[in-house]
Amino acid sequence: MTDKMRAAVIDHYHQVDPEIRLVPQPVIHPHDVLVKIRAASVNPIDTKTMAGDLRLLLRYRMPLVLGSDFAGDVIAVGRQVTAFQVGDAVYGRPQKDRIGTFADYLAVDTGDIALMPTNLSYEQAAALPLVGLTSYQALHDLMALRPGKKVLIQAGSGGVGTVAIQLAKQLGAYVATTTSAANTAFVQSLGADEVIDYHRTDFATVLKDYDAVFDMLGGNTLERAFRVVKPGGIIVSVSGRPNGRFAQTYGLPLWKRGVLRLATRRLTQLEKVSGVSYRFLFMQPSGQQLAELTTLVEQNKLVPVIDRIYPLTEIAAALTYSRLGKAHGKIIVTMTE
């Protein structure tokens, strides 16, 4: 008989709060490790998944254990695993169809994990995988930021923004960011060169000739970003609509590509008029990139930012706080019993 573990589970979309209950412990595949999770982070993807908002990209069978990144200890290894051993402290972001980090245990492919930075607690390490990889893939892979480039990072005080500002500075870029006035000193301490209070000033009226915008907000804010970027520049959004180009690369079926192409006609038009390229990013797990983040953290070049820490038993409160969209850095959930 399989052993049981605690997990935060939903049984259907639009469920108000997850239920914490006992479920079977996961079984490991040959390339997996079994991790005793110590901490996980809350990401807006958790509440969006609960609301069914991402069903075009992510369709889950229920019941579903929530949670998309973690830090913990390897307690068993699959028979093909050589890179990790029992006792390793690791962190990671599992593949989208193998999520479930708001739980005591997770089976995860070794390609999706890395050794945890030695100078971080489990709580701090859990703050990094999803937002760290998102920022890395946007700023490094898609924008290819380098010294002298100017980038606007929207929502610099949020989970993604707090890491993105630091990574952009590491890549040598000049960084403008938006947040509330009260967070000015906070985002400056992360490296922001220019801070715009989004309540008072429209960034599109004060910034121009930027090389890139990293958009965390979508909608009208995303459309206004086209005014800030110079021809040949790039806008990467993690909150705007996925466009046809993304749908094709992501391998979505033809009907979904058609739906997304129609829904993003305005963005395609803005691309043509401005000469700026629009890319939707859906971050991908990568143990290799996470290992690069580990190095940056151990060199004190990247510091995770934690807003609040909740025990697993208070997962509903943690998700409610995330829904407010006011977090400064990350919301963490710990699995201590």
Residues of the shown chain interacting with ligand NAP in the complex, contacts defined by CB under 6 A = 43-45, 48, 130-131, 134, 154-155, 157-161, 178-180, 183, 198, 216-217, 238-239, 281-283, 322, 325-328
Measured distance CA(11)–CA(292) in Å, rounded: 37
In the bound state with ligand NAP, the residue whose beta carbon lies nearer, of 220 and 336, is 220
Query: In sequence order, what are the residues at sequence separation of 6 or more whose Cβ sits closer than 8 angstroms to the Cβ of residue 65?
Result: 7, 8, 9, 23, 99, 100, 101, 102, 103
Residue 158 beta carbon to ligand NAP: minimum distance, rounded to whole angstroms: 3
Residue 189 beta carbon to ligand NAP: minimum distance, rounded to whole angstroms: 14
* Phi–psi pair at 15, nearest 5 degrees: -65, 135
Residue 142 beta carbon to ligand NAP: minimum distance, rounded to whole angstroms: 12
In the bound state with ligand NAP, the residue whose beta carbon lies nearer, of 31 and 96, is 96
In the bound state with ligand NAP, the residue whose beta carbon lies nearer, of 217 and 276, is 217
Residue 212 beta carbon to ligand NAP: minimum distance, rounded to whole angstroms: 16
In the bound state with ligand NAP, the residue whose beta carbon lies nearer, of 65 and 327, is 327
Residue 42 pairs in a beta bridge with 331
In the bound state with ligand NAP, the residue whose beta carbon lies nearer, of 40 and 130, is 130
In the bound state with ligand NAP, the residue whose beta carbon lies nearer, of 160 and 167, is 160
3 state DSSP class of 60? coil
* Phi–psi pair at 266, nearest 5 degrees: -65, -40
In the bound state, the residue with its beta carbon closest to ligand NAP is 158
Residue 208 beta carbon to ligand NAP: minimum distance, rounded to whole angstroms: 19
Contact 45, 69 (CB under 8 A): no
Sign of CA dihedral 115, 119, 122, 126: negative
Rounded to a whole number, what is the distance in angstroms from the first to the last CA of the chain?
Answer: 23
3 state DSSP class of 47? helix
Residue 156 beta carbon to ligand NAP: minimum distance, rounded to whole angstroms: 7
